[in-house]
Amino acid sequence: MSTIRPFCNVDLPRLVDVWIDHWSCIGMSPPVAMATIEQAILARTFFDPANLLVALSEGQVRAWCHVAVDRYPEEAGQKADQDTGFEHEHMGRMLAICFSPNGGLEVCEPLLAAAEARVKELGCHSLRVGLVRDGYDGYVGLPPIGHGIGVPEADTRTTSLLTQAGYTASDPISRLVVSTSPYRPPVNREALQLRRTTRGVREPRMPVIPRLASAFSHFDIECHKIVEHRTGEMLAQVELWCSDVEAQVMNCAHAILDLSLLENPDRLSGAESFLIGSLIQTLSDRRIYAVETAVNSDRSELIRQLETLQFENTEKGHQWQKKLV
C-alpha cells in the first residue's frame, strides 16, 4: 500500500538517498549530500513543498517527483525562441523524478497520477518531463543534471516508465563537454586576425529578476565578450556559469557554457568561435578543467563547430510530454 503526500522536512535524508540510488542504477553515482539538495532547491525562495511529491511504502520514501508551471520568456528574462522550450499555453513541468531500486518502481504509477493531478490544479493541460538548459529552477549544476538534457537516454528505467504512462519523447538534446587541460584552440586566418584586432572583456552578471537570482545563488555568472580595439564594437558574447567557491552544489572544477546569447542559435560566427576557444584556453589556470553545454541535437552545424573546438558529444537526452485530460 503506497501513500502519496507533499514533502516535509523530515523527508530530506530519504530524498537524498533516493536521488543517489536512482542515478547509481545507471552508473552516474552523484556526489550529493543533504546540504547539496537543500542549498540547490529546498532553500530557494520560490520552493513550494506542495509541488514536491513523495511516495511512501512501508513508511519509507521510495520515490519522489517535483513539478512546476512553465514560465514565460519575459518572466525569465530570456528571448523566446525554439531553444528555450517556451510555449504560450501553460504547461506543467516535471523538474525531477527519482525512484529507488528497492520498491520505488511499484509506487511510481500513483506518484505520476498525483503529479498530473497537481499540475492540472495549477491550470496546466499538459506535462513536460526533463530539464533542459536549466537556469531557472535551482537544479542547474546539481550532479548529474549539469546544464540539463532532459531525461538521459541512459536512464532507461525512467524512459520505460514514461512510455508505459503514455508520454512521448521529443526535443533531443546533446550534452557536449570539453577538457580545458591541455587545450589549444584551432588556428585559422580569421582567428589570427581577431587576435590582433580585438580584446577580451569579462564582466560579472547579477540577475535582476528575483526568481533567477535565487535559482543562480550557487553560481558566479560571467559574461565574456570580444571587443574591436579601434571602434569598441562588441563582436561576440557568451556566458560562463562557475560554481560559487562557498557553495556545495557543482564541482568548482567544472563550468557551464551558456550559448543563449549567440547571434544565430543554429551556428557560431567566426568571432563567437574565437571567443569560446580563447575563453576555454584560460580556464585551466583558474582550476576549471571541464566545461559543458547543452545543444538541440538537430543543430548539426552548431554541434560540428563545437566539436571543432574540441567539445565531445558525450550524452543525449529527451524531453517527454503528455496531454492531460
* Cα–Cα dist 288/250, whole Å: 12
pLDDT tens for residues 73-94?
444 444 433 343 334 457 899 9
In 3D space, the residue among 130, 178, 203 whose CA is nearest the CA of residue 308 turns out to be 178
Q: Which residues pair with 224 in a beta bridge?
A: 202, 238
Query: Is the per-residue pLDDT at 32 higher than 90?
Result: yes
For the chain, percent of residues with pLDDT exceeding 70: 94
The model's pTM is 0.92
Q: What is the mean predicted confidence (pLDDT) over 88-112?
A: 91
Peptide bond into 110 cis (omega under 30): no
pLDDT tens for residues 265-275?
999 999 999 99
Output the CA torsion 71→77→82→83 (10° steps): -100
